[in-house]
Chain A
Amino acid sequence: MDLSYSPEETAFRNEVRAWLAAHLPADIRAKVTHYQHLSKDDHIRWHKILAAKGWSVPHWPVEWGGTGWNITQRYIFDEEFGLAGAPSLAPFGPSMCASVLLRFGTAEQKQRFLPRIRDGEDFWVQGYSEPGAGSDLASLKTRAERRGDHYVVNGQKIWTTLGHYGDWIFCLVRTDAAAEKRQEGISFLLVDMKTPGITVRPLILMDGGHEVNEVFFDEVKVPAENLVYEENKGWTVAKYLLGHERMGSGAVGSSKRELAALKALATRELKNGKPLIEDTRFRDRLSRVEIELDALELTSMRFLDKMRRSGQPPGADVSMLKIRGTEIQQAITELMMQAVGPLAQPFVAVEGGEVDPLASRLSPRYCNYRKTSIYAGSNEIQRNIIAKMTLGL
Chain B
Amino acid sequence: MNFEYSDEQRQLADSVRKYLGQAYDFDKRKAIVHSPAGCSDAVWSTLAEMGVTAIALPEADGGFGGGAIDLMAVMEACGEALLVEPLIEHIGLGARLVARAGSPAQRAALLPGVIDGSLKLAFAGLEPGRRYELAPQSTVARRQGQCWVLDGEKSVVVGAPWSNKLIVSARGEGGGASLFVVDSRAPGVSIRPVRTVDGQRAAEVRFSGVQLEGDALLGPKGGALAHIEEATDFATALLCAEAIGAMQYANEATLEYLKTRKQFGVPIASFQVLQHRMVEMVIHTEQARSMAILAASKVDSASDERERRRAVSAAKVKIADAARLVSQESVQLHGGMGMTEELKISHTFRRLTMIGQRFGDADHHLERYAALS
Contacts and interface: CB of A to CB of B under 8 A. Distances in A.
Interface residues of B, number: 52
A206 B195 contact: no
B343 to A, nearest CB: 9
A375 B336 CA distance: 8
B121 interface: no
Interface of A: 129, 132, 134-136, 139, 158-159, 203-206, 208, 212, 269-272, 279, 281-282, 337-338, 341-355, 360, 363-364, 366-367, 370-371, 373-375, 378-380, 383
Contacts of A132: 262
B357 A344 contact: yes
A53 to B, nearest CB: 35
A127 to B, nearest CB: 15
A378 to B, nearest CB: 7
A341 B357 contact: yes
A351 B353 contact: no
Interface string B296-333: 00000000000000000000000000000000100110
Interface in B344-367: 346-347, 349-350, 353-354, 357-358, 361, 363, 366-367
Contacts of A370: 328, 331-332, 338-339, 349
A291 B249 CA distance: 36
A206 B354 contact: no
B264 A206 contact: no
Interface in B221-277: 262-265, 273-274
A205 B263 CA distance: 23
Nearest to B38: A350
A281 B203 CA distance: 29
8 contacts: A136-B264, A136-B265, A203-B342, A345-B354, A346-B197, A363-B353, A367-B346, A370-B331
A208 B192 contact: no
Most buried by A among B38, B195, B198, B265: B195
Nearest to A206: B346
B165 to A, nearest CB: 19
Interface string B131-161: 1110000000000000000000001101001
Main secondary structure of the interface of A (DSSP, over half): mixed
Interface in B161-213: 161, 192-198, 200-204
A107 to B, nearest CB: 37
A345 B156 contact: yes
B193 A341 contact: no
A270 B328 CA distance: 28
Contacts of B332: 370, 373-374, 378-379
Contact of B367 (A159, A281, A342): A281
Contact of A208 (B36, B193, B265, B341): B341
Given A281-B366, A347-B195, A350-B201, A134 B336 contact: yes
Given A346-B202, A353-B203, A370-B328, 6 more contacts: A135-B264, A342-B155, A347-B194, A353-B193, A363-B350, A373-B332
Contacts of A206: 339-341, 346-347, 349-350
Contact of B132 (A281, A282, A341, A352): A341
Nearest to B324: A334
Contacts of A371: 336, 339
B126 interface: yes
Contacts of A349: 192-195
A139 B268 CA distance: 14
